[in-house]
Amino acid sequence: MDSLANPSANPPFPEDVPTHPLEVINYKLLLGKDQAEIQKFWTACKTLGFFYLSEHEIQANEIFEIGRHSLRNLPQKEKLNFLHNANAGDSFGYKPPGANLTNASGGVDTVEWWNIAKDDVLSYPQIAYRTYAAPINDAMDKLKDFVDKSESVSRTLLQILNEMLRLPEGFLDSCHIASKPSTSEVTLIRNPGREKAPSFSEEQLAIGAHTDFGSISLLHNVLGGLQVLPPSTKEWIYIKPIDGHIICNLGDALSVFSGGLLRSNLHRVIPQPGAQIHWDRWTLVYFFRPHGICEMRPLIESEIIKSAAEESTNSFPHGISAVEWFQRRTKYFHKDEETSAAESWKQAKGTEHSEF
């Protein structure tokens, strides 16, 4: 069933399903440089790397409607005309269900999505990377507004982290130069509802366990399914969606830039819990990433980052650009008959592995 048709009719998140508590960070207080709120934000970024963001101005409902028109309502034959070139590590375009691995045993995902490049949105009608289906092209004005506001929120968070990491003023901004090509993108995801809940196994994952590729992810979603694996535990636990709140998390780039001070945490998506299983789960994400040629390395221009990197047991990448990091992970998450699932899964990994 379509959870966007009448959101008030969607079943609530089940009360008997355990969830992981997240800090609620008030965006307006961050803008006002409220020091208590900044400390809450800083702590959340260092511990789980996930938090709720309230009091923001990003509107998701109109963008969800673009998802409905371009995913649920558009014939599959037409969507397949816009397949992304996964073998080249390119994500922009359409990804059908079953195209990506969810584990080293060869399990595949159940979701379909559109990845729409930030650079294509902002340059429209000029093409930066590729073309998209008509429902997306027709909504480029709405997408531009969404991108502009998501960029503004992301850069506000970035500036606060720059200060907390004691980097020279504007240093993290210099790793995310807006005028340079990047892999930042809008992602619209649909995980279809089912008649009955499956007997859950690793083969039923909607999206496999992963860390995000870039710097900051701003996630809006309808219905449950997102789970995190808290540090030093082996138990996956749900994150409950809260109306009007963005679920934010940090990605690999900020973890590397910070010498491991900031956390890029493992997460996955499983079938919707309880009665929500019958409804489509919709997700809208803005992935904010460094510009493509930016080098992935600890930013040792900060003394606290330099110390953290030296004391870390992890090995950090050097000489790898942000776009190369992204393309490697995108390529190997894709199911490829010429490469074993185990090898692909290993090559697709990010900062959850200590060796790069």
Q: What is the mean pLDDT of the chain?
A: 92
Question: What is the per-residue pLDDT across 68-96, written as a single tens digit (0 to 9) for each?
Answer: 999 999 999 999 999 999 989 999 999 99
Look at residue 356 in the predicted model and tell me its pLDDT.
32
What type of residue sits at position 284? L
Question: Residue 238 and residue 240: Cα distance in Å, rounded?
Answer: 6
pTM: 0.96
pLDDT at residue 355 tops 70: no
Look at residue 203 in the predicted model and tell me its pLDDT.
54
Question: Residue 250 and residue 274: Cα distance in Å, rounded?
Answer: 28
Kindly report the backbone phi and psi dihedral angles of residue 179, in degrees, each rounded to the nearest multiple of 5, phi listed first: -80, -10
Look at residue 240 in the predicted model and tell me its pLDDT.
96
Question: Residue 30 and residue 246: Cα distance in Å, rounded?
Answer: 15
Question: Residue 306 and residue 208: Cα distance in Å, rounded?
Answer: 33
- Which helix H or strand E contains 332, and what residues bound it? helix 322-333
Q: Any idea which residue has 């409804």 for tokens?
A: 279
Question: What is the per-residue pLDDT across 138-194, written as a single tens digit (0 to 9) for each?
Answer: 999 999 999 999 999 999 999 999 999 999 999 999 999 999 999 999 999 999 988
Question: Residue 297 and residue 172: Cα distance in Å, rounded?
Answer: 12
